[in-house]
Structure formats: structure tokens, C-alpha cells
Structure 1
């Protein structure tokens, strides 16, 4: 059951992020930076983690 729960949670986090267009755009930009190997990857990863934590908190309310 754990893999199914993780997949559902991941999808719910994605949906929550997409409900906020500015946040979704920022997340896509940050993920693009990481994929491209930008010099400031650590900062991008930190901000991605912050956005994901925010989405998780929204889901838990």
C-alpha cells in the first residue's frame, strides 16, 4: 500500500501546486534550472523543497 499512497500524495502535491499559477511557473523554472545543471542548483533545490513543504502543509489542513 505504501507505493500507492506515495504516488497519490505526489499527485496531490502536484495538483495543489498547479492550483497556484505563479507557484507552478516558479517550480517549473526551478526544476528546469536543476535539469540544466545551472550553477546555483543548491538554491534551486532548496526552494523546490520549500514549495513542496508548503504544498504538503496545504494538503494536511
Structure 2
């Protein structure tokens, strides 16, 4: 079970890295890109997935 926890921690770090990269891209690209793609939907999905992960970890 300890190896599973290590994998989970690595996955969390990886996800946070992707998320911070995504936030940086969003700031760089700006509102033109945001008009074409619904970033709000993506963020809501990401946050929902994250809360599911957090619930599984704390369970």
C-alpha cells in the first residue's frame, strides 16, 4: 500500500504541474483563446476530478 501512496503523490504532483502550466498558458494566450474554448467548463471538470481525488485520499 505504501507504493500506491507514492504513486498517488507523484500523480498529484504531476496534475498540479499540468494545472499550473495550463494556468500560465491561459494568461499568455488571453481572451482571444478564451472566446473560442470554454475554459470555465474545463476548470470545473478539473476541480470536480480533483475533489474526487482528495476525497479518495482522505477516505
TM-score bin (small chain) = 0.3 to 0.5
User: Which fold has the larger relative contact order, with Cα–Cα distance below 8 Å and residues 6 or more apart in sequence?
Assistant: 1
Q: 1 or 2, which has the higher helix percentage?
A: 2
* Structure label with greater radius of gyration: 2
